[in-house]
A and B are shown apart, each in its own frame.
Chain A
Amino acid sequence: MTFETMLSTMAGGMLKTSLIFILTLLGSLPLGMIVALLRKSKIAPIRWLISGYISIIRGTPLMLQLLVWYFGPFYLFGWNIGGWRFPAIIVAFVVNYAAYFAEIYRGGIESIPQGQYEAAQVLGYTKTQTFMRIVLPQVIKIIMPSVTNEVITLVKDTSMAFTLAYAEVFSLAKQISASQASFMPFVIAGVFYFVANYIVERIMVRIEKTMDYYQ
């Protein structure tokens, strides 16, 4: 296998890696907010359910969660899991990352001083207006560094999809390396991940800069 073929095969894997990355963010960023808000619900069973969910997700390996999401439907319900591979990966990643984002959001929400809520209440803002206009914009600024951290981890975590033999860049690197008895695929994979994270970092820094106008 020539270096060019190797590179282009792995570039194809990088596309699949990016797909996992993008779909996971699109799902988990909003879902995490819903989870964070439910965690503060007035209904106690909902709060228990949510904190149980966060505990389990944070207390077990993502790799195990991937296997459970993929094989669970077959072993539990005897369902045919053909074609379920990619959806299972996305569900596992979204559910996992939403739990982490929820905790970041919660920390951000709790750091907003009570006085902000009181000022909004006295001015007559509704609860929704208070959250959307006063609290959320400030929360986003506060949590940005933690979110950046999580997003960079996600780029690397996509490699776990190899557990389910999904042809993203890390799976391909392993396969090609084994078949060609070459170390080169791992070097290429390393460069791909690094470049991807460099881009992510630049983008996040830009987003953080747009919120530099206040303290």
Chain B
Amino acid sequence: MILEMKNIQKQFADLEVLKDISFGVDSGEVVSIIGPSGSGKSTLLRCATFLETIDGGEIVYMGDKAAWTNDNGEAEYVGPQEMKKFRGYCGLVFQQFNLFPHYSILKNIIDAPMQVQGISKAEAESNAMDLLKKMGIADKADAYPFQLSGGQQQRVAIARALAMKPEILFFDEPTSALDPELTGEVLKVIKQLADEKMTMVVVTHEMPFAKAVSNRVIFMDGGVIVEQGDPKDVFENPQEERTKQFLSVFER
């Protein structure tokens, strides 16, 4: 298991966003999380990548606990020094890309490996160029984010996340901010990573993509996992009424 989330609870003020969510991700697995907006998908991702703190439950990476519920019933995290290790395990690709606008494409990709992991410039650059080639945008190395299309920016963001060599890569609606004609190029890259057995968790509204690429689909609604399983089963033969309802919206 790369990641195990056990009985995760998260509350914003009076709103319970995650109610006792448990799931695990195996090495090389691609998991899609689908569900209506407000169902807690993004919050779950943000908890897994430590952008939000959980209120209860357990987060385990590579068999090590990063967070757990203590005897007082409060969530407790490892100290800041150990946290670095856990942050290193996971990467996240945002809906809004969040590239650094003042850095060139190349610098966007090499800066964190150099500053955070202490990798030499030469090594970081050669890794970055390999990644950019893979993303099909090697010619953009010296450009700045504002000069790229949304699809190209998102591919840079994927390269930036991969440059840190994470064990698992999360995607938070990676194509939702893109024009329809640009979603394909980003999905193609994710598909390619799936073929290379990169462990990934993708929150998405692209149902055909989720069906084609993932090993497992999780349907979330109202802060709970309503149904999960093989994409074929979930999409073609959903068991829960709520899942049927949700999927019917996409069948047109």
A residues within 8 Å of B by Cβ?
113, 115-116, 118-119, 121-125, 129, 133-134, 137-138, 141, 213-215
Please determine whether A133 and B115 come into contact, CB atoms closer than 8 angstroms.
yes
Please determine whether B144 and A214 come into contact, CB atoms closer than 8 angstroms.
yes
Please determine whether B51 and A125 come into contact, CB atoms closer than 8 angstroms.
no
For this complex, 17 residue pairs linking A to B, each with C-beta atoms less than 8 Å apart, are A113-B96, A113-B98, A118-B94, A119-B99, A119-B100, A121-B50, A121-B51, A122-B49, A122-B87, A123-B112, A123-B160, A123-B161, A125-B112, A125-B115, A214-B101, A214-B144, A215-B101
Please determine whether A115 and B145 come into contact, CB atoms closer than 8 angstroms.
no
Please determine whether B96 and A115 come into contact, CB atoms closer than 8 angstroms.
yes
Tell me the bound Cα distance from A113 to B100 in angstroms.
Answer: 11
Q: Which residue of the partner chain A has the closest CB to B83? A: A124
Q: What DSSP secondary structure best describes chain B's contact surface?
A: mixed
**Would you list the 9 A-B pairs with minimal beta carbon distance, nearest first?**
A119-B98, A115-B98, A123-B112, A124-B116, A215-B146, A122-B92, A214-B144, A124-B87, A137-B102
Please determine whether A116 and B100 come into contact, CB atoms closer than 8 angstroms.
yes
Please determine whether A118 and B98 come into contact, CB atoms closer than 8 angstroms.
yes
Please determine whether A124 and B88 come into contact, CB atoms closer than 8 angstroms.
yes
Q: Tell me, rounded to whole Å, the shortest Cβ–Cβ distance linking B76 to chain A.
A: 20
Question: Is B213 positioned at the interface, with any CB of A under 8 Å from its CB?
Answer: no
Tell me the bound Cα distance from A149 to B243 in angstroms.
Answer: 59
Q: Collect the chain A residues with CB atoms within 8 Å of residue B161's CB.
A: 122-123
Question: Is B111 positioned at the interface, with any CB of A under 8 Å from its CB?
Answer: yes
Question: Is B164 positioned at the interface, with any CB of A under 8 Å from its CB?
Answer: yes
Chain B stretch 220-236: residues in CB contact (< 8 A) with chain A: none
Q: Tell me, rounded to whole Å, the shortest Cβ–Cβ distance linking A2 to chain B.
A: 54
Question: Is B91 positioned at the interface, with any CB of A under 8 Å from its CB?
Answer: yes
User: Interface centre among A122, A125, A137, by most B CB within 10 Å?
Assistant: A122
User: Interface centre among B91, B92, B101, B117, by most A CB within 10 Å?
Assistant: B101
Q: What DSSP secondary structure best describes chain A's contact surface?
A: helix
Q: Tell me, rounded to whole Å, the shortest Cβ–Cβ distance linking B110 to chain A.
A: 11
Question: Is B84 positioned at the interface, with any CB of A under 8 Å from its CB?
Answer: yes
Indicate which residue in B51, B102, B145 contacts A122 across the interface (CB closer than 8 Å): B51
Q: Tell me, rounded to whole Å, the shortest Cβ–Cβ distance linking A125 to chain B.
A: 6
Interface size on B, residues (CB 8 A): 27
Q: Which residue of the partner chain A has the closest CB to B92? A: A122
Q: Collect the chain B residues with CB atoms within 8 Å of residue A133's CB.
A: 111, 115
As a 0/1 sequence over residues 86 to 110 of chain B, the CB contacts with chain A under 8 angstroms (1 = contact) are 0110111010101111100000000
Tell me the bound Cα distance from A123 to B124 in angstroms.
Answer: 14
Q: Which residue of the partner chain B has the closest CB to A136? A: B102
Q: Collect the chain B residues with CB atoms within 8 Å of residue A214's CB.
A: 101-102, 144-146
Q: Which residue of the partner chain A has the closest CB to B99? A: A119
User: Interface centre among A119, A133, A137, A215, by most B CB within 10 Å?
Assistant: A119
Tell me the bound Cα distance from A119 to B49 in angstroms.
Answer: 11
Tell me the bound Cα distance from A213 to B105 in angstroms.
Answer: 13
Tell me the bound Cα distance from A129 to B100 in angstroms.
Answer: 13
Chain B stretch 42-84: residues in CB contact (< 8 A) with chain A: 49-51, 84
Q: Collect the chain B residues with CB atoms within 8 Å of residue A125's CB.
A: 112, 115-116
Indicate which residue in B102, B116, B145, B146 contacts A123 across the interface (CB closer than 8 Å): B116
Please determine whether A129 and B115 come into contact, CB atoms closer than 8 angstroms.
yes
Q: Which residue of the partner chain B has the closest CB to A124? A: B116
Indicate which residue in B98, B102, B146, B164 contacts A141 across the interface (CB closer than 8 Å): B102
Q: Collect the chain A residues with CB atoms within 8 Å of residue B94's CB.
A: 115, 118-119
Q: Collect the chain A residues with CB atoms within 8 Å of residue B51's CB.
A: 118, 121-122
As a 0/1 sequence over residues 187 to 198 of chain B, the CB contacts with chain A under 8 angstroms (1 = contact) are 000000000000
Tell me the bound Cα distance from A207 to B98 in angstroms.
Answer: 26
Please determine whether A122 and B91 come into contact, CB atoms closer than 8 angstroms.
yes
Tell me the bound Cα distance from A133 to B116 in angstroms.
Answer: 12
Q: Tell me, rounded to whole Å, the shortest Cβ–Cβ distance linking B242 to chain A.
A: 31
